[in-house]
């Protein structure tokens, strides 16, 4: 089954449903394919999917998304800090929410990494999937050494009578839509601007885990704790959040600390959220936390009393936001 989670690094922490298998491949040939890593599924990615759907409708064909796991950046640099905006399962769900019925997840392994650009076009896109039209962003690169780009892709396919559509990543105001830009904004502590590029607030998702009971409940503020796993680490600090169980509206407002909790822990990186008007035990449930606004950087306090006083102030500020 393609999309197997038995891969190194971040994929150990994210189990995702495989949405493509060899026994379905024949039914997925001869369509319009949107190509990309699609980490974040931001407005630029959404434009690629929309263009693929539009072209498929014009040609009377089906539109598919073709993506890769693990992310090539992780394959080539497995020891670098976590950088993913959307783990595989979340990425697949967001793509399907855009109306793409089938997602092809190709395993990015040594074979694919060493494949020359022209071979990828001939063996994968033409021979294997019998593509009728390809859609990708203007900065899409592929093939060994990232030797392939949209100009070469268009040239290779034109020789076979196959069309391509290149999608610009610029918004109406000239702002670039890119995963790199989203990461930069989150590292700066600017989730509002990141949301403008994504088209929605950036959200972390995972099972609620048991905390140490010191920094949250021990101070009178029961919290929900989430391991950051393979997610990008945004700027450490306190944020206003919207939260809810996975698959449900993010109905709860709250305040969350992302980081090391230097006053009470200082070792483990996690998200610790206090939700207003909520006091349930939900260990093991999958929850989503959307970052809305950065309130302040993380800091170490001289005492738990000082920390409690600051949390009270954070809650006041968050409720005003």
pLDDT of 218: 62
- Residue 128 structure tokens: 């294997």
- Residue 91 structure tokens: 């990425």
Backbone angles phi, psi at 82, to 5 degrees: -60, 140
- pLDDT tens string, the chain, 321 residues long: the values are 233 332 333 333 333 344 444 456 777 889 999 999 999 999 999 999 999 999 999 999 999 999 999 999 999 998 888 999 999 999 999 999 999 988 999 999 999 999 999 999 999 999 999 999 999 999 999 999 999 999 999 999 999 999 999 998 766 555 779 999 999 999 999 999 999 999 999 999 999 998 765 555 667 788 999 999 889 999 999 999 999 999 999 999 999 999 988 777 767 899 999 999 998 889 999 999 999 999 999 988 888 888 889 999 999 999 988
User: Residue 102 falls within a domain, yes or no?
Assistant: yes
DSSP-derived 3-state class of residue 214? coil
pLDDT of 267: 72
- In degrees, rounded to 5, the angle at the alpha carbon of residue 112 between the alpha carbons of residues 111 and 118 is 115
User: Residue 113 falls within a domain, yes or no?
Assistant: yes
For residue 224, list its beta bridge partners.
273
Domain that holds residue 122: 9-167
Domain boundary among 167, 188, 210: 167
Tens digits of per-residue pLDDT, 232-289? 999 999 999 999 999 999 999 999 999 988 777 767 899 999 999 998 889 999 999 9
Based on the fold, state whether residues 126 and 238 are members of the same structural domain: no
pLDDT of 93: 93
pLDDT of 57: 97
Q: State whether the Cα torsion 188-192-198-201 is positive or negative.
A: positive
CA distances from 206 to 231, 240, 255 (A): 10, 18, 17
Based on the fold, state whether residues 158 and 220 are members of the same structural domain: no
The C-alpha atoms of residue 56 and residue 35 are separated, in whole angstroms, by 14
List active site positions. 272
pLDDT of 301: 87
Return the CATH number at 262. 2.40.30.30
Domain count, the chain: 2
Return the CATH number at 154. 3.40.50.620
Based on the fold, state whether residues 281 and 207 are members of the same structural domain: yes
Based on the fold, state whether residues 270 and 130 are members of the same structural domain: no
Conformational region of residue 10, where left means phi above 0, alpha means psi within -120 to 50, and beta covers everything else: alpha
Based on the fold, state whether residues 213 and 97 are members of the same structural domain: no
The C-alpha atoms of residue 237 and residue 278 are separated, in whole angstroms, by 22
- Residue 241 structure tokens: 């959040």
Domain boundary among 145, 167, 189: 167
Based on the fold, state whether residues 157 and 15 are members of the same structural domain: yes
Q: What is the pTM of this model?
A: 0.88
Helix 179-187 vs helix 191-198: crossing angle, to nearest 10: 170
Contact 65, 2 (CB under 8 A): no
pLDDT of 167: 95
Tokens 């309130």 — which residue? 295
pLDDT of 221: 86
Based on the fold, state whether residues 138 and 217 are members of the same structural domain: no
Torsion of CA 144, 146, 147, 151, to 10 degrees: 140
pLDDT of 24: 65
Could you tell me where the beta strands, DSSP code E, fall in the chain? Answer: 32-35, 63-69, 103-107, 133-137, 163-167, 203-209, 224-227, 237-245, 252-259, 270-275, 286-297
Backbone angles phi, psi at 310, to 5 degrees: -70, -40
Based on the fold, state whether residues 125 and 243 are members of the same structural domain: no
């Amino acid at each position: 089954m393609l999309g197997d989670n038995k891969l190194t690094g971040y994929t150990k922490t994210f189990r995702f449903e495989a949405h493509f298998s060899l026994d379905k491949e024949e039914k997925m040939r001869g369509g319009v394919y949107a190509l990309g890593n699609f980490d974040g599924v931001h407005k630029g990615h959404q434009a690629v999917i929309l263009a693929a759907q539009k072209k498929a409708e014009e040609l009377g064909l089906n539109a598919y998304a073709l993506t890769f796991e693990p992310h090539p950046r992780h394959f080539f640099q497995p020891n670098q800090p976590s950088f993913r905006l959307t783990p595989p399962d979340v990425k697949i769900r967001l793509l399907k929410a855009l109306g793409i019925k089938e997602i092809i997840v190709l395993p990015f392994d040594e074979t694919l990494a060493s494949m020359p650009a022209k071979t990828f076009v001939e063996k994968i896109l033409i021979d294997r999937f019998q593509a009728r039209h390809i859609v990708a962003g203007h900065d899409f690169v592929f093939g060994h050494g990232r030797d392939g780009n949209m100009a070469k892709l268009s040239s290779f396919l034109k020789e076979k009578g196959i069309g391509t559509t290149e999608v610009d990543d610029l918004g109406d105001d000239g702002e670039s839509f890119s995963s790199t830009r989203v990461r930069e904004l989150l590292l700066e502590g600017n989730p509002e601007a990141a949301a403008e590029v994504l088209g929605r607030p950036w959200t972390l998702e995972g099972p609620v885990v048991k905390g140490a009971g010191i920094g949250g409940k021990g101070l009178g503020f029961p919290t929900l704790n989430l391991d950051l796993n393979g997610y990008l680490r945004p700027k450490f600090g306190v944020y206003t959040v919207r939260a809810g169980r996975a698959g449900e509206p993010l109905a709860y407002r709250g305040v969350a600390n992302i980081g090391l909790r230097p006053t009470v822990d200082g070792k483990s990186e996690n998200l610790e959220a206090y939700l207003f008007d909520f006091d349930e035990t939900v260990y093991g449930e999958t929850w989503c936390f959307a970052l809305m606004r950065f309130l302040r950087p993380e800091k170490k306090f001289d005492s738990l009393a000082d920390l409690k006083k600051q949390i009270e102030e954070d809650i006041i500020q968050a409720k005003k936001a």
